[in-house]
Structure 1
């Protein structure tokens, strides 16, 4: 079981120096990966309900640093940990530009980038980015087509309903071949089929264990039906816990609980998933506290 950590980037942690310090110290502690999230804005009157339990977006999201810029800085201050996005809203920029950015990141990091993409859930962000809300699935599929074309290098050409790339030469290529791993988010059946058909894994969420197990097994079965190796798929799980000092109701773990309870949960799903990464930004009040929680967790798990 690999253990990762979310990079500080929002709320009181929206300071690049916080991310850089945590990145260096987390790598030294032995964490396997660091992950950056994506939030464009915080509507004062949102049209869509937040996906959390109470439907209200945390006020800390009012202050949010760009994930790709942050990863570029972290890539130059670390040497071993993998660097991922969970989850980058992949439809807010033309895929040709995204391909170039990720290629540059992969070169900067020496081939350590994991590109986690999703289609988001907030219409207000799409409106601000100037991207249509409707047709997100088809837009994601064509985005993946363009990314793959650019990363293949050599002569690139794409003719699609959304984007046209006339025959061109693109020499810049990622370090990782045939491409940086592409992990997709989503909870709809169509999303699971897309993952099984063409992605390198699913960005798992904190579902109840029976639902999580059923989803992973379903994706693996579908991957096999497409002639792919289900064992090659990755399933990193993000946890955003409220860490407590007193032991929480086991039914509320991993969303709430002590470090010991979180560690027990991580060890318990080791046979199902290959990686868990934890975001302490909703609990910690300072970088020092963030690092204390990180150190306590990796010690308890390992």
Structure 2
């Protein structure tokens, strides 16, 4: 879940973006309640069926990068999922904010999940771009350890921003073959 960021989207639904954080917290509480019990609302008995298979309910991961959003993760969510533009080299700073908020709220920070959406770009050895998750498959796999040291518990390998795979100009069959090759090579061992 996310609180939203687009002024146009808030305007379209007539919502005040200044209160989005409070609405997210209320929504998380409401969803969890409906996943576990029947409730009375405005004189009507409300029940959600089918209820989730996971007990007591599925994890709720929140997005957002603002310090307030990260603190909300620590207080009310089961974890945080980054956007694809997250700087994985500084991911640990966001993790620390969420974990600190969990601890201050009396929650166990060790149960929080931190899911990084990592933009992967496979390139030949010696490529001048030296960012995390860019380079040879061996270099990218080594970057997984660097990212894990930032507190990431799960890494979502995202190929959508690799112009050699996801560009409208790329050959669809070649893109699919390359994507399958990359994902197979980077799959958990």
C-alpha RMSD of matched pairs (Å): 2.4
Between stretches 175-184 and 263-272, larger displacement belongs to: 263-272
Q: Is 2:33 aligned against 1:149?
A: yes
**Structure 2 residues not aligned, in runs of 5+:** none
Quote how far apart the aligned CAs of 1:127 are.
4.5
Q: TM-score, normalised by structure 1?
A: 0.51
| Aligned partners of 2:67 and 2:97 also within 8 Å | no
Quote how far apart the aligned CAs of 1:126 are.
4.2
Q: Relative to total residues, which structure has the larger helix share, 1 or 2?
A: 2
- Other-structure match for 1:119: 3
Q: Distance in 1 between matches of 2:156 and 2:119?
A: 9
Structure 1 residues 121 and 246: CA distance shift in structure 2, 3 A = farther
| Aligned partners of 1:149 and 1:157 also within 8 Å | no
| Aligned partners of 2:35 and 2:48 also within 8 Å | no
**Structure 1 residues not aligned, in runs of 5+:** 1-116, 159-164
Q: Distance in 1 between matches of 2:20 and 2:72?
A: 13
The structure that has the greater radius of gyration is 2
Q: What CA deviation, in whole Å up to 9, does each residue of 1:117-136 have, x standing for no partner?
A: 112333334445x3525232
Q: Is 2:140 aligned against 1:258?
A: no
Which of 7, 10, 15 aligns to 1:132? It is: 15
Q: Distance in 1 between matches of 2:43 and 2:91?
A: 43
Write out aligned runs for 1:89-128 (5 A): 117-128=1-12
Q: TM-score, normalised by structure 2?
A: 0.78
Structure number with greater CO (CA < 8 Å, separation at least 6) is 1
| Aligned partners of 1:221 and 1:230 also within 8 Å | yes
- Other-structure match for 2:56: 178
Q: Distance in 2 between matches of 1:296 and 1:214?
A: 29
Q: Distance in 1 between matches of 2:181 and 2:130?
A: 25
Aligned residues: 174
- Other-structure match for 2:72: 194
Q: Distance in 1 between matches of 2:48 and 2:152?
A: 36
Q: Is 2:176 aligned against 1:287?
A: yes
Classify the secondary structure of the residue corresponding to 1:187: coil
